[in-house]
Amino acid sequence: MEALLPKFDSVFSIDCVIFGFDKGELKVLLIERNEEPFKDCLALPGYLVEQNESIDFAANRILYELTGLKDIFMEQFYTFGEVNRHPQGRVITVAYYAILRLNATKELKPVTNYAKKAFWHPVANLPELAFDHSQIFAKALQKIKRKITYQPIAFELLPEKFTLSQLQMLYELILNKKLDKRNFRKKMLNFGILKELDEKQKGVSYRAAKLYKFDRRKYGKLFQKELTF
């Protein structure tokens, strides 16, 4: 006979930080809450984990229920466990993130009434969020800043063919600083991870720029080579 575990007055939750890159703007997916506490406030999509579901499963279910988004590959990145982070009791939350290329066809529509609505909000002027969600968001942003320096996440965010200006804008958005154009181009081309195409931008009123593609194989190699031998 095994002893019973002590009962704690504790629950787990999931919060999702979904970044979207949309026509030169970095956005994050928010909901407007329909429940106390923080009714009517803005928050990350998040809710409680049920007894009989794994946390990975819960993350996908909760994101779907609160926003209508499905089949998003999310990665767990940090668990927040301060004692008083939730006004109703002890709630430890496991935070997940994903970073997507937005397109207009993905309609956001909560399927529960826990959220009044879901929408993309520009990262640049984010308001204060419910609970400790501003802190969770900040940690996720830090995470993708680090990640963009050693993993090819830019792949997921740019169209297959892109200009060097679009690539630079992506880095500037995520790193949140202006980069020197000449320097950026020189470094990027030096890495040898870009394939110059025999095509130019179409449908632009200004001087059309050359298009590039990532060389996936070389990109992957670059990010492994340093000290892994």
Subset of 156-175 contacting its own copies (CB under 8 A): 171, 175
Residue 120 vs 162, nearer CB to its own copies:
162
- d(CA 152, CA 156) in angstroms, rounded, equals 8
Q: Which range in 99-107, 119-127, 146-154, 201-209 contacts its own copies by CB under 8 A?
A: 146-154
Q: Least CB distance from residue 177 to its own copies, whole Å?
A: 8
Residue 28 vs 94, nearer CB to its own copies:
94
- Single residue of 103, 112, 142, 149 touching its own copies by CB under 8 A: 149
- The tokens for 1 are 């006979």
- Interhelix angle 164-175/133-150, nearest 10 degrees: 140
Q: Least CB distance from residue 42 to its own copies, whole Å?
A: 19
Cβ neighbours of 58 (radius 10 Å): 19
Decide if residue 11 touches its own copies (CB under 8 A): yes
3-state DSSP call for residue 23?
Answer: coil
In contact, 41 and 32? CB cutoff 8 Å: yes
Decide if residue 142 touches its own copies (CB under 8 A): no
- d(CA 91, CA 80) in angstroms, rounded, equals 9
Residues 6+ apart with CB under 8 A from 76: 55, 56, 59, 94, 95, 96
Decide if residue 81 touches its own copies (CB under 8 A): yes
Decide if residue 148 touches its own copies (CB under 8 A): yes
Please provide residue 40's backbone torsions phi and psi, each rounded to the nearest 5 degrees.
75, -5
Decide if residue 25 touches its own copies (CB under 8 A): no
Report the interface residues with its own copies, using CB under 8 A.
Answer: 2-12, 36-37, 48-56, 58, 76, 78-79, 81-83, 87-92, 94, 148-150, 171, 175, 179-180, 183-184, 187, 191, 222-224, 226-229
